[in-house]
Structures are given as structure tokens and as C-alpha cells.
Amino acid sequence: MTREISLRLNGREEKFTIDDADTLLEVLRDRFKLWSVREGCGVGACGTCTVLLDGKPVSSCFLLAARAADHEIVTLEGLGDGGTLHYIQEAFVSQRALQCAYCTPGFVLSVKAMLDEIANPSDDDVREYLSGNLCRCAGYADILRAVRVAQDKKKSLSPSP
Amino acid sequence: MANFAVVGQSVFRKDASQKVTGQVLHVGNIEMPGMLHVAVLRSPYAHARITRIDKTKAEAVKGVAVVLTGADIAKMPGVDPHFGPAFRDQPILAVEKVCYIGDPVVAVAAQDRRRAEDALELVEVEYEPLSPVLDVLEAIKPGSTLVHEQHRPAKAFADLAHVKSGQQSNICYHFKLRTGDVDKAFAEADRVFEDTFSSPPAQHMPMEPHVTLVYLDEGQRINIWTASQTPSYVRTEIANTFGVPMNRIRVRIPYLGGGYGAKLYAKLEPLVTALALVTKKPVRYALTREEEFLTITKHKVITKIKSAIKNGVITARKCEVFWDTGAYAEIGPRVVHKSGYTSAGPYRIPNVWIDSYCVYTNHVPAGAFRGFGVPQVIWAYDSQTDTIARAIGADPVEFRLKHALNEGETFATGTPVKSFGIKQAVREAADAIEWSKPRQKHSGTKLRGKGIAAGVKAVLTPSISGAIVIMNADGTVNVLSSTVEMGQGSETMMGQIVAEELGVSFDQVHVVQPDTDITPYDTITAGSRSTYHMGNAVRMAAGKVKAELFQVVSKKLEVNPDDLAAAGGRIFVRGTEERGMTISEAFLAKFGSLGTTLTGEAICQPEAIPMDPETGQSEKCTEYWFPSATSAEVEVDTETGRVKILQFFSVGDTGTAINPKHCEQQLLGSAITHLGLTLFEEMIFDEGQLVNGSLLDYQIASFKDLPESFQPIIVEVPHETGPFGAKGVGETGTLTVSSAVANAIEDAAGVRIRDLPITPEKVLRALSQRQANRG
């Protein structure tokens, strides 16, 4: 069965036909060629395919595209202004928080969601929040530093209360 | 140390911006018009004869281009239906029989994956089950069912030239080392220690599963885009398997989403090539994670180790190591050999006896896994070394230092060791964790303890790395190398070495990704060998370009080329920097035209002296060693059995660190990965059936497993023939993690765990056993 859905994807309204069995991951890759979204496990356990759904991190491999209808989806391609790196990305670069980097898009988006949700995450908060994103190069120490740098940058950008 | 401009600097990797935006090229992003997708039907039996395959219904499914069987491949003219790096024992698709649960039997290529999967359901296969071989110790007994009736050596690599056509046995390779008189030493010993240690099969788990795309170009050449650590080998394997000349095959490798040994040798390439040849269409096969579990594993190993102690020193060690290599040998024989000969440790032990067996079973094939078998042998020998020290009342650190080989002393193989910073590594690890400081051990039900472990790996020798360096007239450089960038930073390493050699900035060097049409042969991107081998190759190739430029400048300035130096993009007379010219001026002086190039080529090919087949002795068994030490402080919860890592130090002798930050990342990252392998990772099989083959059921180290406090520590003992003194670092951090943790647990709680992973259940059981023994 097919159906037509609408959603907001990286800031643009999109309307298209899907198969009921399509996962959000399949739609984002096959139709929209958003290569930052990658399948790692197919069961929502590794975080490699993370996208933001209304600002919250979800595993797009484990979410039917139909469930994303009428929601806002952001992939890594939609982060920042498209020209320069987002400050979270900059932090990942400056802290060398990537090696093979297959997990990086998912991590960057999870960090974005975490910092939007928790202004001052403790080390335990970070470990808990990011434990759904797996890195087999195990660069967790570098990613932790990147989180701290991004967090400081975010604070310096937001107007003081 | 000499003063370098680029080497020794922690320059930033150039691939970071494309990686952090997710726009980096992976094989999975490449699409071609009319591309077909693949699904594979796999064996439900561990060992069975195929009696019938009916694919007619599947062939009738709309959108299906081909339904292929092993019999179909065997009928293709000139095609060898079997492949493999040590033995040609692995069928592209099962021929006549299946050898493990998950063995590929039928492949469908269709216009999309879902259709291919639908078609698979219509394939009918009938099997006649055979008795499976599921236990490595049973498999070696005479009269055991044979996994393979004959062994056919592949002859692909010089270091495997000694692999023989075996007799009727599941042992496909047996490594022997004999030195001194072990029996005499045991007879004269004050004490003898005898233990059995085991490590389970485990998954590499690169976040990017295997993926391969094959198409025939306009000239009908076979073009392969594949996530592989071995471009040169893949080309050779496809040439041999399909009877095609080497220059009719082009293998290209973009950035890998991790490898860790999983992506070595041929994996999907033979099957996808067969499908592309049959359909004449581009074909891409991307493994699911579940298929990844059924493709390659880390060897399960059982080690029986026996040591003799006389007057407080180890006088003899006997090791019997049994490697479950699964249904196909894969690179098992090399793992069994290279790791086998280090099974007694980096210690001065005059009498050593080693038997290391590579054994076929009906399990998923096992191959190389970051550390190449050495983590498994260190788990045994260094755990036992620790128990001996504690049992005889010696300090575990001092006991290791007392036995550790000094520079120039001979390893158990008879090879004198060079650039062997084992003692420095142990001292660094001990100092970092404040070993000698008195410790607070008890806090209610939580017991604290410290552990240290030491070990060494030797680089695969002989092996070959070729490189071409092209300097452009504007002073920029292109480096052609078949080393695969899989996250480890090899591009950065090569860029730094070439920049240093040519006196240009790191930014001016571009490293071309592996493409067998243009990048020369390289044995393998693995085994901590690229910095040394490819590093030397690119340095020598750059040196040839530099020599040509020096000729030009020396003529122009009428000076001796030996008096010239290159730095800052200029070539000048050493001591009088103003006498010289820019690289662009030198090019113009030589060619008189714009846009010209100068090319240098070099090959690094260290040799080994083949080991005596009966004694394992060789004056030179390896080109270099990389010693490792780990120290850990743990807290054992006596109520739950949970082990928490409080402090963790990963120490490695890297030789000169070309990029210190990247070396630290390798040391720490590989160590944290191995914390997962130490504490919980295990592929569990029931009668040959994998029961936890998905990431829902199989855990790897996550953010939660990052220790509370951690530090990588580099020890630099330069190697005289390494590029600028460098060795390797990719595996060092993996080597000594497991025994350091187990040793710390014994220090904390007085129990010894001998079977990995160290789960809370095992710790609790050991604690209650200890309680019971105390009565």
C-alpha cells in the first residue's frame, strides 16, 4: 500500500508518496539522498541513523516513514545555515572527536538535542544521554570534550537571562 | 630527538570537515543507473549436504534479474568457485554442502532489496544434515567428522608459503616452537603453575557494515567499489577466481566506516562480481547487521599454559593454543602463526614449548580482529604471570620487569629484540596508577584493587608497501598509496611524512585514495604496519623526487647536491638559506614549462628469515615489535559482581609518534573497545546457531563504559629503520586490557577469572566459591 505524506524536512515542506513499509531511513536516503543518515544496525540500537523528530533524537531505521507525517525532521544536512559548520560540528573538529566518523552525524544530532534539553549536563547526564550512540573507534573521551566545548559556545551565544 | 617541522606535530586530519557534515563518500552512497540490489539465502544447518535447489518460482518474481547458486557459479567458464587468503576453501555460494549456520547458499539480484528478499522466500532448498563439528577440542581428535575433506593452499602471501595441503584432519595449520629443554625445567622446578584460559568469539562491529558495488565499464572491465582494507588483495583474488587479467579489474576504496580487521581479504567481492558478470548490470550488496554477525568473527581461543618456577624466576613455559577458525580458514593460519609465536610473552624464559593449532569447526569463520590474536594469547600468559607473582609473593610489577627482555636479548623465537620498550611501558603504566602507593582496598561491599599487564605484538613480516609520490610544479604533492583510511589517520600520517621529507607544508600534500588502476601494491591495511611500511615507502618515494630537485638546483647554483636542504617550500644551501630557490623555480629551471610533475616510486619490503618448521626458530622473525602495558584500578561490587573501572591507563611504545594526538586516540580508543570485549562481549552459539546476533542482544562499549579516569600514554623508543623512527600503534591499546582488568580484580577481591568476558555472574560465582573454600 502506498500513501501520500507531508512533513517538514530540513526547513522545507515536502509532500511525497511512500510505501507503508518504508522506514524513515529509506525515504531519507533513497528519495532525498541525505547521505549523513546511515543504517548501522536496523533495530534502533546503535544511533548511526539518528535524526531529530520535532527536536528529539529518533532512530530513523526503526521508524516507519508514515509515522513522520506532519512532523518536523532534521538531518545533519539541515543543521546550521548550510554554509558554515554548526558550532557543535566545529567542536567535533577542534576536539578531534571523529575517526572513521560513520557514527558522527548521529552523535552531532544527539548532542544538539541534549544541549537543547539540558543546559548544563553533568558527566553522568552526557554518558546516559549519548549511550544510545555507539562508536566502535571508541572515541568517547574526545566526544565528551567536544560536548563541553559546544556547551560553552552555546552559552556564549544565548542572551544572558 | 631530531628537530622536525611536521613530524611529531599533532596536525589536524584533513577529512574532518567532510566527515563532520556527513558528506564523506562511502560505498553505500554510490548509485548507478539500473543498479541491482542483493539478498542472500543462508544455511539453516551447521553442516549439511545440499540435495536440491529449486529457484524457478523466485526467478519468476517481477524485478528479479538473477537467482544464483553455487552450482551456477561452478559452471561459469574459467571460474574457481572457491576463494580464501590462506586456503581456497570458501565457496562464493555453497557448493554441494554448507558448513555453518549462515553460510550463503543462494543470491538474488533484483531492482530493490525488498523484491530480492521476497524472491528468496520462494527458493526451495533441501538439505541432508551431517553431524556438525562444534567444539575445538573435539574437532582435533582423530576420527572427528571433517569440515573439509581436502585442504587447498592459496599461495597468495609469502608469509603463508609454509601452509600445506593437510591430511585428513580439522587442523588446517599447526605452529610449533621449541627452545631449551622444557621437560628438564619442569622436573627441576620449585613450583609448577598450570591453567586454562579462554576467550570467546566476538564481533568486529564496524558501524559501517560490509558493502560492495561492482559494475562493468564501457570496456567491460570489472570495476569494484568496496569497503575493504585490502584493495590489492581484492584485485588479485578476483583475478584468480574469475580468470581475468589484473588490469581488467579496478578496485577503488573510499573512506571506511571502520574496519578493525573485519574488512580484510575478500568478503562480498567475489559474489557481487559474479552477479555483475551474469546480469551485466551494476550490483550493490550491503550487509545487514545480522548478516555481519554471520560473516566474520574474532577467534574463540582456548589456551593451556604451564609454567615452571625455580628460585623465583620463570624457567619454562609450555603453551597449547587452540583457535576455532570456523568453517573456512580465512586468515586463521596467519593469526595462529603470528600470535602463536608470542604465546610465552615478552619475557626471558629459557625453555619454551608452543603448539598453536588452527582448527576448522562448523562455526562462523574467524579472521583477523584488531590485535590479530595477540590479545587472546596475552590474556592467557599475562594473567598467569600475574597469578605466579602473587602466589610466590613477588610484586607483580617487579616480577614483570625482572623477566622483561632487554634490548638485544633473544625472544623465544631466537630473534634478538630491537626498539623494545616493554620495561618503559610497564614503568609508565605503574607510575600512572601510583602502583607503589598504599591503597585503600575496602569500602563495605565494594572492593578496590589495581592491576597491571604487559605484552607485545610483532609486526607481520614479510609484507610489501609500494608508493608513488608526484610533485607538481607549484610545490603541491599527490601521494599514491593503497593504504586505506578507515579512521586511524593514515592519510594524515602519510601527509606528514611526505611534507617533512620534501620540506613543504602538510596542507600542500594530497593523499589519493586506493585505486588499483593508479595506486601500487600494498599487502594490507592492518596489523599496525602502515606507519612503518607505507610511511617508509612514501618517504623513500618523496626522497627520490627531492633528489631530482636537488640535482636541478645544484647545477643552477653550482653547489654539491649533498649540501642542499629542503624546507619551507624552498631548496637552499645548508647554512646559507638565502642561496636557493623555491620549488616552483626549480621546476621551471628543469622543464621550462608550466604545470609539470616529477615522480618518485618506492617499495618497502622488509624480509624475515623463515622460521624452522619444527622449532619456530629464526634469527629474524619480525621487522619490529610494539610493546604494550595497561594499568587499571577497579571496584568490585561483592553483592552484584559488577566491576567498575575507576582508573585506566593505556601505554604503548609507538616509536617516534608521527602525530602524537592520533597515536593517543589509537591507544585509548582501541583500549576502550577492548573493555567491552573484556567485560561483556561474546557471541553465544547453541549447536552452531548464533543466539545473540543483533545489536539488541550483543552489547559493545558505549559512553557508559568510559572509565571515570583515563589516560593514553605514549612511550617513544625510536626504531632505527622506521620512518623518522616510527613503528605502529593501531593495535597496541588492545593487547593488555583484559589481563590488566582481571589482575586488578584479583588484587581487589582475591578471585581469578580465567574465561572472558568477565561478567558479573562469573565474578559472583568466583566470590561465592572462594567463600565456600574458606568454609
pLDDT 10s digits, B179-201: 999 999 999 999 999 999 999 99
Closest residue, chain A, to B492 (C-alpha): A99
Give the DSSP H/E element, type plus range, for residue B242. Answer: helix B231-242
Write the pLDDT tens digit of every residue in B327-338: 999 999 999 999
Mean pLDDT value of segment B322-350: 97
Specify whether the CB–CB gap between B261 and B730 falls below 8 A: no
Q: Which of B256, B278, B293 is the last residue of a domain?
A: B293
Residues A92 and A68 occupy one common structural domain: no
**B177 found inside a domain:** no
**Does B448 lie in the same domain as B471?**
no
What span, in angstroms and rounded, lies between the C-alpha atoms of B573 and B578?
A: 8
Question: Rounded to whole angstroms, how far apart are CA atoms B21 and B471?
Answer: 30
Q: What residues contact residue A105 under an 8 Å CB cut-off, 6+ apart?
A: A36, A37, A38, A48, A50, A75, A76, B22
Set of cell numbers at residue B193:
603453575
Kindly report the CATH number assigned to the domain that includes residue B549: 3.30.365.10
CATH number, domain with residue A33:
3.10.20.30
Q: Where residue B713 falls among pLDDT bands split at 50, 70, 90?
A: very high
Residue A80, Cβ density class (10 Å: 0-12 exposed, 13-18 middle, ≥19 buried): middle
In total, how many domains does chain A have?
2
pLDDT at B203 over 60: yes
Of A37, A98, A126, the CB nearest to B19: A98
* Residue B9: closest CA among B712, B662, B718, B728: B662
C-alpha to C-alpha distance for B362 and B133, rounded to whole angstroms = 5
Task: List chain B residues with CB under 8 Å of A39.
Answer: 209, 286
Task: Detail the DSSP E strand segments found in chain A.
Answer: 2-9, 12-19, 50-53, 56-59, 72-74
Same domain, A73 and A7: yes
Between chains, do A96 and B16 touch, taking CB under 8 Å as contact?
A: yes
Residue A109 has pLDDT above 90, yes or no: yes
> Whole-number mean pLDDT of chain B?
96
Question: What pLDDT does residue B168 have?
Answer: 84
> Which SS3 state, helix, strand or coil, does residue B697 take?
coil
Nearest chain A residue (CA) to B254: A100
Contacts of A142 in chain B (CB under 8 A): 665
CA distance B578 to chain A (A): 37
Q: In whole angstroms, give the CA distance from residue B439 to residue B683.
A: 37
Structure confidence at residue B773 (pLDDT)? 87
Q: Work out the minimum CA distance from A120 to partner chain B, whole angstroms.
A: 18
- Cell 625472544 locates to B411
A42 lies in the same domain as A70: yes
Both B249 and B113 in a single domain?
yes
CB A127 within 8 A of CB B705: no
Please indicate, yes or no, whether residues A72 and A119 belong to a single structural domain of this protein: no
Question: Do residue B644 and residue B732 come from a single domain?
Answer: yes
Same domain, A33 and A54: yes
Domain-ending residue, one of A31, A58, A78: A78
Helix, strand, or coil (residue B302) = strand
Quick one: how far is CA B337 from the chain centroid? 14
Q: Is residue B183 part of a domain?
A: no
Nearest to A46 by CA among B696, B26, B297: B696
Is A127's CB within 8 Å of B706's CB? yes
Distance, C-alpha B20 to centroid of its chain: 26
Chain B residues touching A101 at Cβ < 8 A: 15, 19-20, 24, 255, 257, 487
Active site residue B149: no
Residue B182 forms part of a structural domain: no
Q: Tell me which residue in B207, B662, B673 faces A46 most closely, judged by beta carbons.
A: B207
Q: State the number of CA atoms in the 13 A half-sphere of B91 facing the CB.
A: 24
Backbone angles phi, psi at B134, to 5 degrees: -125, 0
Preferred mutation among A2, A31, A41 to probe B, highest tally of B CBs within 10 A: A41
Residues B581-601: b if buried by 16+ CB within 10 A, e if exposed: bebebbbbebeeeeeeebebb
pLDDT (tens digit per residue) in B208-246: 999 999 999 999 999 999 999 999 999 999 999 999 999
Residues B712 and B632 in one domain: yes
- Asked if residue B462 has a cis previous peptide bond (ω within 30° of 0), the answer is yes
One domain for residues A96 and A63: no
Q: Are B103 and B238 members of one domain?
A: yes
> Do B682 and B713 fall into the same domain?
yes
Give the C-alpha distances (Å, rounded to integers) separating B563 from B356, B372, B463, B571, B581: 54, 45, 35, 10, 14
For residue A161, pLDDT over 70 is answered with no
Interface test with chain A among B703, B710, B713, B731, by most A beta carbons within 10 Å:
B703
Residues B762 and B694 in one domain: yes
pLDDT of residue A81: 78
Grid cell 567499489 is found at B225
Contact residues, chain A, for B702 at CB < 8 Å: 131-134, 140
Residues of A in contact with B671 (CB under 8 A): 138
In a domain, B535, yes or no: yes
Structural domain of A32: 2-78
Is residue A59 domain-shared with residue A92, that is, in the same domain?
A: no
State whether A41 and A101 are in the same domain: no
Q: Which residues in chain A are closer than 8 Å to B665, comparing Cβ atoms?
A: 96, 99, 137, 139, 142
Residues B491, B500, B731, B746: which is the catalytic one? B731
CA distance B734 to chain A (A): 12
CB contact under 8 A, A35 and B26: yes
**Co-location of B36 and B119 in the same domain:** yes
CB atoms within 10 A of CB B112: 15
What is the percentage of chain B residues whose pLDDT exceeds 90? 96
Q: Give the residue from B12, B15, B18, B20 with the most A CB atoms within 10 Å of its CB, the best one to mutate.
A: B20
**CA distances from residue B489 to B196, B494, B581 in whole angstroms, order as listed:** 38, 9, 33
Put simply, the answer to whether B29 touches A140 (Cβ < 8 Å) is: no
Looking at A45, A78, A111, the residue that finishes a domain is A78
pLDDT value of position A83: 81
- Residue A89 CA to chain centroid, in angstroms? 11
Identify the band that residue B93 occupies on the pLDDT scale cut at 50, 70 and 90.
very high
Which residue among A45, A102, A143 sits closest to B257, beta carbon to beta carbon? A102
* Region of poorest pLDDT, from A75-79, B149-153, B257-261, B711-715: B149-153
In what side-by-side order are the strands of the sheet with B64-69? B64-69, B104-110, B36-42, B283-286, B211-216, B222-226, B249-252
Rounded CA separation A36/A48 (Å):
9
Identify whether residues B100 and B54 lie together within a single domain: yes
- Using the 8-state DSSP alphabet, how is residue A30 labeled? I
Q: Out of B289, B669, B706, name the one closest to residue A137 (CB).
A: B669
Mean pLDDT to the nearest integer, A74-101: 94
- How many structural domains compose chain B? 3
- Does residue B322 fall inside a structural domain? no
Of A96, A104, A138, the CB nearest to B22: A104
Please give, rounded to a whole number of angstroms, the shortest distance from the CA of A159 to a CA of chain B: 27
CA-CA distance, B334 to B369, in Å (whole number)?
Answer: 12
pLDDT band at B158 (very low <50, low <70, confident <90, very high): confident
Q: How many CB pairs under 8 A join A and B?
A: 156
- A41/B289 Cβ within 8 A: yes
Whether residue B538 sits in one domain with residue B500:
yes
Q: Give the pLDDT score at B2.
A: 63
Task: Evaluate whether residue B616 is within a structural domain.
Answer: no
The partner residue sitting opposite A40, judged by closest CB among B24, B289, B665, is: B289
Contact by Cβ (8 Å): B652, B729? yes
**Pairing of β B643-653 and β B709-715:** parallel
The last residue of one of the domains, among B576, B604, B632, is: B604
Q: Which range of residues forms the domain containing residue B470? A: 16-23+463-604
Chain A closest-CA separation from residue B589 CA (Å):
41
Q: Which residue of A has its CA nearest to B696?
A: A45
Both A7 and A72 in a single domain? Answer: yes
Give the pLDDT score at B444: 86
